Amino acid sequence: MTRHVALSTARVAWRHSLRFRLALVYSLVALAITTLSGLVVITLLLGSMDRQFDARLNERADVLADQFTNLSKGLGQRPPAITGFTVLVDAQNRVALSSNGLNLAPGEPFPQLNEYRLPVQGTRVRAVTRKAGGFGTLWVGLPEDDLIAARESAMRALLLSALITPALMLLLGWWVGRRALAGLGQAADLADRIDPTRSLATLPLPQREDEVHRLLAAINRLLVRIEAGQAREKQLLGQIVHELGAPLTVLKASLNRAAERTGDVEVGRAALVADELTFTTQDLMQLARGQLEMKMVWHYIPARTLLGRLDRLVPGTRFEGDWSGGILCDPDRLTQALRNLLANARRAAGPDGTVSLTLEDTPEQVRFVVQDSGPGLPPELGERIFEPFISGSGSSGLGLSVSRQIAVMHGGNLTGSNQGGGAQFVLSLPSATLGDDQDDDLEETESAEVSTPAAAHR
């Protein structure tokens, strides 16, 4: 029950959720596409701007060089004025003319003639050279400040988009994934609430026939097959137990009579084995029926009546505690649960070990403490020791599962641990008290309890 509640209330951590992973993948893909497309666009844009800048620079240099080369066009006129970053260098690589902003004196050497990118007065300049007829070589430069600013702006825009786009895509992907997978989450919640001991219910299908619809439809078909398989297994198990029950009952009675008549130890041991098999078939029958199909028959019985039953079923048990009170329970079921615990304890302790059953009666609950001197519970099994067919002592593995089931049906619980060198099981039931006007009917209640079919069978 606790495990079922934990499953039904569990929620997937955000970092493990499918929609987060989808949103993350969507964001990473968007980041890759945005970055790649941005780089391509910026590369093309900057390349175009760079070509336009070179075209403008070459055009300017060609115009100036043509004016110095074709002097016939301006015969009788002075050479054109030098403007901007322009230098006319003679054959000895000395400055003949320069623009005003360069502050170069005529006759001064000009070593930057063959440099095409250089800082001039704190400004990045790109330059070209042209032959200026008989005047020498013309050096023309244009500042790259606007081009550099455009390149930096484009890279900032790319970086900003690379930061903002994934965040927006992550939020958008999370929201879209939450809406798209809402049906799957609701189906998971409904599946957590399915009780396998009842008839398995199918999951509601979404209206849109998408992948979620297909998955849930497949799960529903699987649930139908599981339910059919469980029904067949229960039916087969019930038939097997029914076929074994009657012969075992006859065999046990015959062996008990033979043991009483002959006093043979081997016959008595065989009678105990038959008794063990009888209780195993009862455990199998309870497993086949399931907890919800079992009916509880409540009686208020003296604790000593329960002690007498258990003493006959599991001889060699040491009974401790106060057995003078009464217990509200289903006597047959409670006897079955305690008998399973004592039989397991005797099997673990061995013929020379000790097994004790202590009754602790408090106003809140009644506790049955079974202690043995055996090796204790295997630590690697933990709570799995209460699952069907899980055993650490060589038994069928049904006793503890059935005993806990019976305790839960009484409103109590069954726990196990290692105490004092051996295993200790505590079966707790809610305490119940009777008023004074009901004490006189206690003997009649006990008679009614003994006359139940299950008790007669035992």
Distance separating alpha carbons of residues 104 and 88, to the nearest angstrom: 11
Higher-pLDDT residue of 230, 97: 97
- What is the helix (H) or strand (E) element at residue 235, kind and residue range? helix 211-262
Residue 154 φ/ψ, nearest 5 degrees = -65, -40
3-state secondary structure 16-50: HCHHHHHHHHHHHHHHHHHHHHHHHHHHHHHHHHH
pLDDT value for 434: 46
**pLDDT-derived band of residue 407, with 50, 70 and 90 as boundaries?**
very high
Q: What is the mean pLDDT of residues 400-413?
A: 90
Higher-pLDDT residue of 427, 246: 427
> pLDDT at residue 392 above 60?
no
Number of Cβ atoms within 10 Å of the Cβ of 111: 7
90 and 79 Cβ atoms separated by less than 8 Å: no
DSSP string, 257-325: HHHHHH--HHHHHHHHHHHHHHHHHHHHHHHHH-GGG-----EEEEHHHHHHHHHHHSTTPEEEE--SS
Distance separating alpha carbons of residues 182 and 175, to the nearest angstrom: 10
- What does pLDDT average to over the chain? 77
pLDDT value for 369: 96
Distance separating alpha carbons of residues 276 and 363, to the nearest angstrom: 35
pLDDT value for 184: 65
> pLDDT at residue 265 above 50?
yes
pLDDT value for 301: 93
Distance separating alpha carbons of residues 283 and 341, to the nearest angstrom: 13
Q: Which residue bears the tokens 């075209």?
A: 55
Domains, the chain, ordered by start:
2-47+150-192 (no CATH), 195-293 (1.10.287), 295-457 (3.30.565.10)
pLDDT value for 11: 55
Q: 61-65, 278-282, 336-340: lowest mean pLDDT where?
A: 278-282
pLDDT value for 442: 42
pLDDT, tens only, 135-163: 888 888 888 888 888 888 888 887 887 77
pLDDT, tens only, 278-328: 766 776 776 666 544 557 889 999 999 999 888 877 888 999 999 999 999
Torsion angle, alpha carbons of 34, 40, 41, 45, to 10:
150
pLDDT value for 191: 67
> pLDDT at residue 458 above 50?
no
